[in-house]
Amino acid sequence: MKHIPVRRLIFISTIISTTAIGCNKWQGFSISKQKTHIDTTKVYIDARTTLYQAAEDPDPRVRTKALEALTNTEGTQAGAVMLQALRDPYAPVRFAAAMAIGDTRYAPARPILLKMMKDPSLPKKLKCAVIYALHCLGDDTYTTELGRLLRDKDKWVRAQAATIMGKMGEPSAIGPLKSLQRTDRDPVVQLEVTEALAILGDKRSIHLLEAFTKSQNIEDRLIAAKALGKTSSINSVHILKQILHDNRQEPVVRVAAAASLARLGQPVRTHLPLEAATNPTKVLKKARGKDAELRPIDIISLQTIAIRSLQYIPEPETEIIKVMTPLLRSPKGAVRVAASETLLKLLQASKPTVISREPVIIKEKQPAQPATRPVLHTAGPKD
């Protein structure tokens, strides 16, 4: 079986249950003839409980998504879940746990991460994530190994190393990434390297992302639309507006473009994300034709991406909460996780006091940052 980068594996293997979502009662609020009252405390508790339950779901794909959502909503408060996930038998779950630890800088995980790095059987893609986590915790003992992984014979490992380098935000990574961009012609690696360089501010790579938005591969277009939202270029805004208003584009790509524009502080005047979150089948039929045959993965991908986009796109908060709350009971694990994440993000500003079922973990003092960060370089004469 070939090795696939985690986010591509998640994209390909997203839960494909197509059970219809139906509900006549809104959970968490009562409806009167005059107004709709939202019990935000109940909604918050239900969303949080749903998310923690998803982290223990029998389906590893749901556990993976839950870890990503917990990173964005709970932070270090979900540290115990992250530590447990580092021992998960499913590699993408362990990868997501390591990335979550890095993103939240959960210091108690450092001894386990160091132990993992000394394990010769550690998969190389997972090693990239562990290196990232340690780097975020101020430990750069293994950071320079990314240079060797960037030249690995496995293209998926090279792609993963490039993604991690971009995510680290180290300017010293630009040189080796550009070297790989010139010499590695594999399309998968090219996209990951281009995205990493664009995030690091390379103007040429931002222009190259525009080419990927026109790829025949919908996944390439989707990744490029998301990546453009992580840059600060005016040109990115122009490209994203074109995608959003192009009715020939796949709805999932247009929704991703809308979310990226919102993250860049641009006004987004479209109800497409809300429509796709509530009735993805209808949106796809409208775009492709009423007689078009829809793959289950197309439906679930559009719906979950649309649900998450509502964290950024200005819609009446009350309306979003009203729409999202019933989705906490969806039979689709990916939908439950996405709805939980969006609800928690919307409510965190006025987060009610809730006793966590997780034990309180006192954060350890993080190691001091070294005066000089290690230079990320590749191995071999091509430097």
Each residue's pLDDT tens digit, 187-214? 999 999 999 999 898 888 988 888 899 8
pLDDT band at 170 (very low <50, low <70, confident <90, very high): confident
Per-residue pLDDT averaged across 107-113, rounded? 97
Higher pLDDT, 233 or 77: 77
What would the two tokens of residue 51 be?
């998310």
Residue 360 has pLDDT above 50, yes or no: no
What's the CA gap between 121 and 134, in Å, rounded? 18
How far from 123 is each of 93, 120, 298, CA to CA, in Å?
A: 13, 8, 30
- High-pLDDT (> 90) share of the chain, %: 63
Q: Provide the whole-model pTM.
A: 0.79
Quote the pLDDT of residue 349.
58
Q: 87-110 b/e with 16+ CB inside 10 Å = b?
A: ebeebbbbbbbbbbbbbbebbbbb
Query: What does the alpha-carbon distance between residue 147 and residue 177 come to, in Å, rounded to a whole number?
Result: 9
Residue type at position 29: F
Domains of the chain with bracketed CATH: 37-143+335-361 (1.25.10.10)
